[in-house]
Amino acid sequence: MQKAVLFDQDGTLLDSGAGIKHCAILTLQTMHLPLIPYEDLDFFIGPPLRDCFRLCHVPEERIEEAVRIYRDAYEGKGDGYLEATPYPGIVEILQHLRSQGLKTYVCTSKGKPLAEMILQSFGLSSLFDGVYGATLDGSLATKPEIIRHCLVEEKLDTNALMVGDTVLDLRGAKANHLPFFGVEWGYGDTKQMRQEGATTLLSSVAELEKAILSWNKND
């Protein structure tokens, strides 16, 4: 069976922190809530948006208001998502992996339509066989659920590998019995990934490419 590599988006493929954090601050300002310094907002990159606002101590009854304001700033009038940039070497590694017969997918906690729009904006859509993300109705929200949905829809069984920069990506891989390669250039806590069992952590795109190709050769 053809093997597949599942990639997290923010912090793995794209350096999207600036736009995300700026929009988070704008949301808190608009709601007249206590601000969190820009440099302390890395926890916004990766997890579901509602969970991030809970960590900002947004009252539960105002969570949906926060989400609406943030989304308007990030993907609506503000176009905050355009502050992202692909990490150097990402385009080349994707092209090479696909030339070696590997299928590639995105599995992100972002909403699927937004994730697709962002990839299209940066000319990356053609480098993936599919994009899987959260649903607006909440039926798919967590990384384990999103990864599982991808595996089922694409009939991949467990013949896949998850690549990500946070412990949430690691947990999603473990929940679906997939091997996990962690990248150290994103926004996750490398120490926490090690504590939860990550054994392959890569510090560069070149190292990641070498590790994936080696995995692909093994039965």
Please state the domain extents for the chain: 4-15+85-217, 17-83
Cα–Cα distances (Å) from 33 to 52, 65, 93, in that order, read: 14, 12, 42
Please give the chain's pLDDT, 219 residues, in tens: 789 999 999 999 999 889 999 999 999 999 999 999 999 999 998 788 899 999 999 999 999 999 999 989 988 777 788 888 999 999 999 999 999 999 999 999 988 998 999 999 999 999 999 999 998 777 888 999 999 999 999 999 878 999 999 999 999 999 999 999 999 999 889 999 999 999 999 999 999 999 999 999 985
Q: Say how far apart CA 201 and CA 178 lie, in whole Å.
A: 15
Residue 68, C-beta contacts closer than 8 angstroms, at least 6 positions apart:
none
- pLDDT at residue number 181: 98
Q: Which helix (H) or strand (E) holds 80?
A: none
Instruction: Enter the tokens of residue 174.
Output: 């473990």
Among candidates 159, 184, 153, which has minimal Cα distance to 169? 184
CATH of 17-83, one of 1.10.600.10, 3.30.70.520, 1.10.150.240, 3.40.50.720: 1.10.150.240
CATH 3.40.50.1000, domain 4-15+85-217, yes or no: yes
pTM of the model: 0.88
- pLDDT at residue number 92: 97
